Amino acid sequence: MKRIKAVALSPYRRDERPSSRRRFIGKMALAGTALGMPLSGFPNITGKARPHLRVLGTHVTLQEAIRRRAEADLGIRISFQPGGSAEVLHQATTRPESFDIYEQWSNSLKVLWNAQTIQPLRVDRITYWNEINDLPKNGRIAPGTRPGRGDAPHKLLYVQEDGGLGSLETERTSFLPYVHNTDSFGYDTRFIPPETPYEGESWGWLLDEKWRGRVALVNAPTIGLFDAALAVQAKGLMRFEDIGNMTRSEIDQLFDILVDYRRNGHFRGFWTSVPHSVELMDRGEVVIQSMFSPGVSTLNGMGIPCRFAAPKEGYRAWYGVMCLSSAARGEAEEAAYAFMNWWLSGWPGAFIARQGYYISNPSRSRGRMEKAEWDFWYAGKPAAKELMGTDGKVCVRPGEVRNGGSYTNRFSKVAVWNTVMDLYEYTLLRWKEFLLA
Amino acid sequence: MKSFPLAFFRSSIRKRIYAGFLIICVLLVLLSLVSLWGIWRINTATTTFHLLNKQADLLIGIDQATTEIQREAVRFMNEGRVSVGLSAVAKMHDLDNRLMKARSLETIGEDLKSTLERARGHLEVYEETFENAMQEKLLNDSLILMELPRISGILEKRLAAIHDAFPEENYLVALFRARTHLFSYFAELDSTLARKAFEDLDSLDLALAVLVGDDAGTSEMTPFIAETRKLLAEYRERTARSVQATRAYLYLINVVMSGEVSEIIFKANQLRASGEVRKEELKARMRALIDRISLSIILISVLAVGGGFLYAVVIARQITLPLTRITATLLDLSRGRSVSAIPGSSNADEIGDLAKSANVFHEKNVQCQYPGPLQPDHAPNP
């Protein structure tokens, strides 16, 4: 019997976790002295044996196709250790020696930095640093746009003189900015008639009585909490002074509202992984819910007309961070820089665009994408032909337009970033009440 | 040509009565057979009903077991007592057994099997998360109760010694401040307090570094301060680990485990609803079967009783009406009224024979009353 697959957010799933992963890594490390190859494009790490790079992260980017391509391009051995976000964060904060690169979302950065399990990156070693656009550097995709509340990546990017993280430009960064996206909610247009992006579509729909019992949220307080907060605010039930860093009384008020909705049977439930979110809509249990881009693509590929909303209140955005373990030294450090530079070299950005994600230096990926792909995913133009997703299935039909428009347009409308607030721990306690109300 | 039934109803009364008995007997046998069939059908259906009902109860029981688990799990999440957590896990095992049992039933459809399997998946995640949460809790307890006080105690003594050597600055204050911030963090769960604790420790370390860098100390104090800084780094690392363990524990308990419990409850509700629907369907099926059997028995009974009654009436009328008519005619005769003929002589049955015989007597009687010329051999005696 098929189990719920690929727990991207919920950790510690036996069937998802490579049970003998550590043993495997150990064996591979012992065997890793064979087949030393020069690294194409990275002559500074021409070791005798093929270096072995261990990448810890989530399923959304640690995909086999990427690993194989990186191995082929770099001539190094790479093992991916995908897991749930909490699981990998836990591992990264407790055992820096167990990985070389950690990659997840910017909301895990404060935790890692405080735990001192990652080390600063040298800007001069990032080959395409100058190609990285302004979004992670100053929080604005274009001059005059708002940066969004919460943990915007630029606030955590640079290592400051005092050892803290900030937006003042220095020669050292805490992470490599790479994939990113704007998220919102997805809705089934068979039940909810589509409306005009940025005008009709609203986060408030998540609390619409009409969909009682058929609404789901993502079970992650650094993400789902903001979806709920945006919905409550859009509905006019309360206002936040700073939605990216709520006060205790705001958190209490928000959860009181949410618990009421939950008790009235408004929420079907809380999903813990992208496949889980797909399953909920596929089974018809849910018609509107928090969503991630790959989930929407999958549903569309299955013929379910799920639309990724462009809410008038703005998006909840996230930024992928790639960090270097504090334990990475010598060859491992070289391989890590090579891998990071590879990520910005074009092909990975083009690959990941097919699941709706953007790369921090899109211009380099443009040449690796067909014109129709670029026009659809980045330029917000109608698809000139059928477009494939990363799974090789058609996920975009001719004439379809990416909801929300172009890359610039979407990132001009960020309401809040995925954030670890000051009262994050307190929100965890209230989140439980909400889940079990 | 007369049809069979009409001919039959004109045949011998004895035959008709025997035929009537035969028909009633056949109907009674049929009734018995139908009753026996009904009893057999009800028996087999009852067995199936009980089996399916038990299965439905199993599904409903899953929900009841889940309610208990929810109670235990919430208690554990609120109180954090390991014994309660273990009790919840034990109940999870029991629930898992129920789910497996339900899943092995042949009558369970694929959709329900998939729900059961998903519920098992959530149980599995819950259990694994519980183990991890317990590890974090134990680690944090040991850090807060043993490791941090131990290192802090040593640091206090060392910083006091440094203060004695360099009385212009009290390094202990920064340590106490960090400790206060850390404990406030645990009480209020506000990350800014943890951050302040780290800032205090970092500033203390910086101050010690300056002390060594300035070379203000005597040569014997320099290694002592360096050693103290190492210890301080260890204290900072343990503090960071403790904050991380607190976060991880809270996340695992309040998000992952609660999320799984929430899904398990939902699935259990689905199973209960499915069990109740099944029960209702079974009841309806059983009711339909009993109705069908009852109807068959009633129909056959009505047929037997009604048919027998009708038959009896017809036969009785066929006997009594001609007899009444014959009796009336004979009474008329006895009263000296003239009668043309005894009725019923056209009947083909015993009454017809009786009427014909009576007619013979009647004709003889008529001849006696109106005699013709006497024949010699019939001349009356003198």
- pLDDT computed for residue B214 by the predictor: 60
The one-letter amino acid at B80: G
Per-residue pLDDT band for B362 (boundaries 50, 70, 90) equals confident
Contacts of A84 (CB under 8 A, 6+ apart): A7, A8, A9, A10, A11, A12, A13, A16, A58, A272, A273
Give the CA distances from residue A315 to residues A182, A404, B99, B156, in Å, rounded to whole numbers and listed in that order.
Answer: 6, 10, 41, 50
Q: Does B263 touch chain A (CB under 8 A)?
A: yes
Q: How far is A90 from chain B (nearest CA, A)?
A: 7
Per-residue pLDDT band for B351 (boundaries 50, 70, 90) equals confident
pLDDT > 80? residue B105:
no
Q: What is the ipTM of this complex?
A: 0.81
Q: Which residues of B touch A2 (CB under 8 A)?
A: 114, 117
Task: Find the range with the poorest average confidence among A174-183, A402-411, B77-86, B155-164.
Answer: B77-86
**SS3 state of residue A104:** strand
Nearest CA in chain B to A224: B255
Nearest CA in chain B to A247: B190
Q: Which residues of A touch B237 (CB under 8 A)?
A: 116
Q: How far is B245 from chain A (nearest CA, A)?
A: 9
Q: Please give the span between the terminal C-alpha atoms of chain B, in angstroms, as a whole number.
A: 57
Q: How far is A284 from chain B (nearest CA, A)?
A: 13
Average pLDDT across chain A, whole number: 86
Per residue in B59-70, pLDDT (tens digit) is: 777 777 777 777
Q: How far is A427 from chain B (nearest CA, A)?
A: 9
Partner-chain contact B254 A268, CB within 8 Å: no
Per residue in A194-217, pLDDT (tens digit) is: 999 999 999 999 999 999 999 999
- pLDDT computed for residue A245 by the predictor: 94
Q: Which of B202, B247, B262 sits opposite A435 (nearest CB)?
A: B262
Partner-chain contact B253 A432, CB within 8 Å: yes
CA distance A285 to A222: 24
Q: Which residues of A touch B195 (CB under 8 A)?
A: 114
pLDDT > 70? residue A42:
no
**Above pLDDT 90, what percent of chain B?**
11
Average pLDDT over residues A145-165: 89
- pLDDT computed for residue B196 by the predictor: 92
Neighbours of A241 (CB within 10 A): 8
**SS3 state of residue A345:** coil
Partner-chain contact B189 A1, CB within 8 Å: no
Per-residue pLDDT band for B378 (boundaries 50, 70, 90) equals low
Residues paired with A323 in a beta bridge: A102
- pLDDT computed for residue B57 by the predictor: 80
E strands, B116-213, are none
Q: How far is B125 from chain A (nearest CA, A)?
A: 5
Q: How far is B173 from chain A (nearest CA, A)?
A: 21
Q: Which of A13, A163, A270 sits opposite B125 (nearest CB)?
A: A13
Q: Does A431 touch chain B (CB under 8 A)?
A: yes
Q: Does B320 touch chain A (CB under 8 A)?
A: no
The one-letter amino acid at A388: M
**Above pLDDT 90, what percent of chain A?**
68
Q: Which residues of A touch B103 (CB under 8 A)?
A: 1
Residue B330 falls in which region: left (phi positive, over 0), alpha (psi -120 to 50) or beta: alpha
CA distance A10 to B249: 14
Of these ranges, A84-98, A268-282, B299-313, the one predicted with the greatest mean pLDDT is A268-282
Q: How far is B106 from chain A (nearest CA, A)?
A: 15
Q: Which residues of A touch B114 (CB under 8 A)?
A: 1-2
Average pLDDT across chain B, whole number: 82
Q: Does B260 touch chain A (CB under 8 A)?
A: yes
Q: Which of B189, B243, B255 sits opposite A431 (nearest CB)?
A: B255
CA distance B323 to B338: 19
pLDDT > 80? residue A268:
yes
Q: Which residues of A touch B262 (CB under 8 A)?
A: 269-270, 435-436
8 A C-beta contact, residue A105 and residue A318? yes
Six-digit token string for A88 = 């990998």
Alpha helices in A207-329 (DSSP H): 224-234, 248-263, 274-282, 293-301
**SS3 state of residue B103:** helix
Per residue in A211-227, pLDDT (tens digit) is: 999 999 999 888 999 99
Q: Which residues of B touch A220 (CB under 8 A)?
A: 255
Backbone phi, then psi, for B31, in 5-degree steps? -60, -45
Q: Does A116 touch chain B (CB under 8 A)?
A: yes
Q: Does B248 touch chain A (CB under 8 A)?
A: yes
Q: Output Rg (C-alpha) for chain B, integer angstroms.
A: 54
pLDDT > 60? residue A277:
yes
Per residue in A363-420, pLDDT (tens digit) is: 999 999 999 999 999 999 999 999 998 888 888 889 999 989 999 999 999 999 999 8
Nearest CA in chain A to B133: A12
- pLDDT computed for residue A224 by the predictor: 93
Q: Does A90 touch chain B (CB under 8 A)?
A: yes
Per-residue pLDDT band for B24 (boundaries 50, 70, 90) equals confident
Q: Which residues of B touch A423 (CB under 8 A)?
A: 189-191
Q: Does A13 touch chain B (CB under 8 A)?
A: yes
Six-digit token string for B211 = 């002390």
Per residue in A312-367, pLDDT (tens digit) is: 999 999 999 999 999 999 999 999 999 999 999 999 999 999 989 999 999 999 99
Q: How far is B34 from chain A (nearest CA, A)?
A: 46
Give the CA distances from residue A333 to residues A26, A165, A329, in Å, rounded to whole numbers and listed in that order.
Answer: 18, 21, 5
Partner-chain contact B70 A12, CB within 8 Å: no
pLDDT > 70? residue A47:
no
Q: Does A220 touch chain B (CB under 8 A)?
A: yes
Which among A271, A405, A156 is positioned nearest to A280, based on CA atoms? Answer: A271
pLDDT > 70? residue A172:
yes
Q: How far is A213 from chain B (nearest CA, A)?
A: 12
pLDDT > 70? residue B219:
no
pLDDT > 50? residue B98:
yes
Partner-chain contact A422 B191, CB within 8 Å: yes
Average pLDDT over residues B279-303: 85
- pLDDT computed for residue A337 by the predictor: 97
Per-residue pLDDT band for A270 (boundaries 50, 70, 90) equals very high
CA distance A12 to A2: 18
Average pLDDT over residues B156-166: 89
The DSSP bridge pattern shows strands A288-291 and A414-417 to be: unpaired
8 A C-beta contact, residue B346 and residue B336? no
Contacts of B279 (CB under 8 A, 6+ apart): B53, B56, B57, B60
CA distance B59 to B275: 5
Q: Which of B192, B246, B258 sits opposite A436 (nearest CB)?
A: B258
Q: Does B186 touch chain A (CB under 8 A)?
A: no
Six-digit token string for A203 = 């986060």
Partner-chain contact A431 B114, CB within 8 Å: no
- pLDDT computed for residue A38 by the predictor: 33
Q: Which residues of A touch B260 (CB under 8 A)?
A: 10
Residues paired with A24 in a beta bridge: none
Q: Does A421 touch chain B (CB under 8 A)?
A: yes
Average pLDDT over residues B289-318: 84
Partner-chain contact B189 A432, CB within 8 Å: no
